[in-house]
């Protein structure tokens, strides 16, 4: 009975194929076309093209072959060989070749049988769509930290590039849609360097013990020298055999500490040895993770933009490829992480008031008010009801747990305002922004995770002066006068630069220096897990998850424009 059903289904498929062949002016005798049609029809019903071969970009594959009259797309053997070679070297991009049918494609590449050619053609198309999506936009969903097994069109539409295969080399197409940023390609070089170290056996572990200071002799110094030499930190003139901590080694240790974002004091203590003991395979994975993060960014960031790296606690302003300003920043606490996002700075607000977010109000402010009723007056915080009227704190039942839902709490402009003298506003779904702070001493800390998600900027008025870029009207003297007046003032920017709030735990400086930072938010394991995720057995292309936010407690904050309308 089962065999009879299969026979009937095949007959129906063949009749449909013959009808379509007339519609598309195809030769009815084309066995490859016929087999492609049968496989695509099977794909519509089973999410596979046969009993064993799954397809990932299902709607797109079906559409492409339907529009192509079920004819083969990969008709040039050189293109096929070139693309398989690209997939074989996907590891140099930090992604896994096995995600793209590589083994099966290599097996099918040597066969000229029609059924294998048909299967190979569909697999090549699926692999191209998926690889193009991953190389241009990333395999990992930055909102979900889950692998994406479908076409991603946030920066390009891979199907449009598939159509260009008849006239252009596949290698040129892949090069065009891959990230162009010099930083990304420097990461690729670093990946190859550490893969080479790994192939040569890596380095040995250095024992713990007492701190080693310049002038000391210690049996561990020989291993330390070997470790620094392998990673390129040891100066060429330095010996690898001496157990003396001499000046050459001290310069190398200082360089190593600076590159790892730890105090550059030249003392080899527990933290420095801990960094030296990170194995090269772990660094390889760290580089892969950060290459993926570059794929999340627009390929063209623009000639003028702001770049925040939360893991490095730094903001850079870049013009025409040159960093013109660097500012320390304070980012969110581990339980109120600063998100990853891209936006555009639209305006500044001098002497901003602060509408205290619901989460901060409920968790931080109200407990302080209940302990000390004078807290509100001391911090210049006023209470506003749903009708926009100021409320006398004495008329509020402070035992009521719904206070945070019923009232807005607004801190007036002034030197004690939590936002300082200026804030920088850009649209985003997290309601975060850049701003000044009265607690400037916090910038002296090495680990600066003190905020509730927003980004506090060192020398914020200097940044405002730079962004306004109008010496005639917005001189620094005039900005200081505005601040001293404590009068609220919103200033639209004449040029609105993009801002990229990122999270890089490894990068390469323009001079080739490798930089390592701690994973302060423990995000790296999630990205790595998704990068290493193997293709699932069955894909439901139409299923989409709702984005999740690490800052979900702040989702109900008023957005930035609502905040600014609440100044009265």
- List active site positions: 435, 454
Question: Hey, what are 115's tokens?
Answer: 């059924």
Q: At what angle do helices 247-259 and 221-230 cross, to 10 degrees?
A: 50
List, in order, residues 6 or more apart from 561 with CB less than 8 Å away.
none
Is residue 199 a contact partner of residue 108, using CB atoms and an 8 Å limit?
A: no
Residue 181 sits at φ, ψ, to 5 deg, of: -60, 135
End-to-end CA distance of the chain: 79
d(CA 8, CA 3): 9
In 333-457, where do the E strands start and end? 341-344, 347-350, 354-355, 381-384, 390-391, 408-411, 422-425, 434-435, 449-451, 455-457
HEC states along 278-337? CCHHHHHHHHHHHHHHHHHCCCCCCCEEEEEEHHHCEEEEEECCEEEEEEEEEEECCCCC
Among candidate residues 338, 381, 388, the one with its CA nearest the CA of residue 356: 381
Q: Which element (helix H / strand E) includes 515? A: strand 514-516
CA distances from 238 to 197, 211, 403 (A): 20, 21, 66
Question: Hey, what are 132's tokens?
Answer: 């193009």
Task: Using DSSP, state whether 149 is helix, strand or coil.
Answer: coil
- Polymer length of the chain: 568
Is residue 552 a contact partner of residue 453, using CB atoms and an 8 Å limit?
A: no
């Amino acid at each position: 009975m089962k065999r009879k059903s299969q026979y009937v289904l095949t007959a129906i498929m063949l009749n449909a194929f013959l009808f379509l062949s007339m519609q598309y002016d195809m030769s009815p005798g084309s066995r490859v076309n016929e087999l492609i049609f049968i496989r695509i029809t099977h794909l519509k019903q089973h999410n596979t093209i046969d009993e064993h071969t799954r397809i990932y970009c299902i709607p797109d594959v079906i559409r492409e072959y339907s529009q192509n009259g079920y004819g083969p797309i990969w008709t040039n053997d050189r293109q096929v060989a070139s693309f398989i070679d690209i997939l074989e070297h996907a590891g140099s991009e930090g992604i896994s070749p096995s995600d793209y049918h590589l083994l099966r494609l290599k097996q099918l590449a040597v066969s000229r049988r029609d059924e294998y050619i048909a299967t190979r053609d569909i697999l090549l198309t699926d692999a191209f769509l998926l690889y193009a999506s991953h190389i241009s936009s990333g395999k990992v969903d930055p909102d979900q930290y889950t692998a994406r097994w479908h076409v991603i069109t946030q920066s390009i539409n891979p199907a449009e590039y598939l159509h260009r295969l008849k006239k252009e080399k596949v290698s040129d197409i892949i090069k065009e849609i891959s990230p162009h940023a010099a930083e990304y390609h420097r990461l690729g070089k670093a990946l190859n360097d550490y893969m080479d170290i790994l192939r040569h056996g890596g380095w040995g572990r250095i024992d713990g013990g007492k701190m080693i200071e310049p002038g000391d002799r210690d049996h561990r110094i020989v291993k330390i020298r070997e470790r620094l030499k392998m990673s390129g930190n040891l100066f060429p003139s330095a010996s690898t055999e001496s157990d003396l901590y001499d000046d050459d080694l001290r310069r190398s240790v200082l360089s190593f500490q600076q590159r790892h974002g730890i105090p550059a004091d030249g003392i080899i203590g527990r933290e420095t040895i801990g960094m030296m003991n990170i194995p090269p395979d772990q660094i390889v994975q760290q580089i892969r993770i950060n290459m993926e993060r570059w794929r999340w960014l627009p390929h063209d960031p623009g000639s003028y933009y702001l770049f925040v790296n939360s893991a490095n606690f730094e903001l850079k302003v870049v013009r025409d490829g040159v960093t013109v300003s660097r500012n320390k920043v304070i980012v969110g606490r581990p339980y109120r992480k600063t998100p990853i996002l891209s936006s555009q700075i639209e305006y500044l607000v001098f002497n901003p008031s602060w509408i205290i977010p619901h989460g901060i109000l409920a968790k931080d402010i109200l407990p302080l008010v209940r302990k000390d009723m004078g807290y509100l007056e001391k911090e210049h915080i006023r209470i506003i009801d749903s009708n926009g009227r100021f409320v006398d704190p004495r008329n509020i039942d402070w035992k009521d747990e719904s206070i945070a839902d019923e009232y807005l709490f607004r801190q007036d402009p002034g030197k004690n305002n939590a936002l300082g003298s200026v804030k920088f506003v850009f649209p985003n779904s997290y309601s975060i922004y850049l701003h000044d702070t009265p607690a400037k001493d916090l910038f002296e800390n090495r680990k600066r995770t003190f905020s509730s998600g927003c980004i506090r900027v060192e020398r914020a008025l200097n940044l405002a002066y730079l962004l306004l870029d109008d010496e005639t009207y917005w001189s620094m003297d005039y900005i200081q006068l505005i601040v001293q007046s404590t009068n609220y003032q919103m200033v639209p920017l004449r040029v609105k630069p993009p801002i990229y709030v990122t999270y890089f735990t490894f990068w390469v400086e323009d001079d080739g220096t490798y930089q390592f930072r701690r994973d302060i938010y423990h995000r790296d394991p999630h990205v790595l897990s998704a990068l290493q995720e193997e293709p699932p057995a069955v894909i439901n292309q139409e299923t989409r998850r709702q984005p999740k936010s690490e800052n979900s407690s702040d989702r109900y904050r008023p957005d930035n424009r609502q905040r600014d309308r609440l100044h009265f």
